[in-house]
Structure 1
Amino acid sequence: MHGQEERNHVAYAFCFNEASGPYKVLRSVLRNFEGYPSVSEFEVYTIGVDEKWRYVGKAPKPLHESFSNSNVNGVVHWMNMDKNDRIYSFNSWTEKMKT
C-alpha cells in the first residue's frame, strides 16, 4: 500500500498543431508517495473536447523544475535542468513522449 501522496510541483505547456486541430494543454505533475521515489507523470487535456485530464506517460527521471518550452509544429520541447540535462518532447498529434 502506498503512503500518502504529495504533489510537489505542477507545470503546464500549451500545444497547437494545425493538422491535429484544437489546443492541448500538457501537464507535468511531480508526485511523491511517502516511502517511495518521486515520479513525474504527464497528462494532456484537449480544450473543448476532453472532460478530464488523460494520462500519457511518465518521465524516466523526476522533473523538479518548471519547464521552459518551445512549441514547434505541434511538438513541445523542453530541457530538464538537472545534472543530466535531458531534452524531452511531446508530440501533440500522437500524444507520445520522447527523451
Structure 2
Amino acid sequence: MDPRLFKALKMSCPQFGGNVDIVAPFDVTTPFSFDNAYYGNLEAKLGLLASDQALSLDPRTKPLVQELAKDKHKFFQAFADAMEKMGGIGVKRG
C-alpha cells in the first residue's frame, strides 16, 4: 500500500483519533464515479483491501488489471458481461 494512503487511513481510524462514522472508499481517486480508475489505483498501490491489491501483484491477474486500467471501454464491456451472467443465476429457495 502506498505509504501516503496508509497514513491517511490510519488517521481516519477511530483507534488513532479518527471519526467512527468515516467510510473509506474503495476507489480513492474517483469515489463517486463509476469508472475504471479502481484498476489504475491498484497499479499505483492504492488498493484499500489487501485482497484487491493482490490482483495487481499476482502474475495471473496483473495483465487483466493493466488492461482494465488503460481501457475504459473494455472495463465497461467486461462489467456488462459480468452483470448479464449474474442475472442468469437462479435464486435458490428454501
- The TM-score with structure 2 as length reference comes to 0.26
- The TM-score with structure 1 as length reference comes to 0.25
Higher fraction of strand: 1
Q: Which has the higher Rg, Structure 1 or Structure 2?
A: 2
